[in-house]
Amino acid sequence: MSHEEILALDPIVHAPNRLAILAILINVESANFTFLKESIGITDGNLNTHLTKLADHELIEIKKAFVGKKPQTTCMITEKGRQAFLNYLSSMEQIIKNQK
């Protein structure tokens, strides 16, 4: 793997926790905050930071609502996020192929 190939990877997607979030969201219509937190195994604050970063880059959409009296945060991948994730996978596949 060359230095240039690594630098060409999208740094927003490449971060392990953000990559995990996108990997989950690409396979579901939406996921709530608690599901993501438990699936990835990170703290509320850490997840919130990563979700905010993804939302700021328009890779996910965050909706906040109340279910009864409890707040609920739901996340969905955007088309831009889906494309960024698929481009990342394609880049990783190319890096792996170049190693052979």
Per-residue pLDDT of 49-98, as tens digits, reads 999 999 999 999 999 999 899 999 999 999 999 999 999 999 999 888 88
Domains of the chain: 3-94 (1.10.10.10)
Q: What is the mean pLDDT of residues 24-49?
A: 98
Contacts 24+ apart (CB under 8 A), 39-44: 42/17
CA distance 17 to 19: 5
**Residue 15 DSSP symbol:** S
Q: What is the pLDDT of residue 8?
A: 79
What is the pLDDT averaged over residues 19-24?
Answer: 98
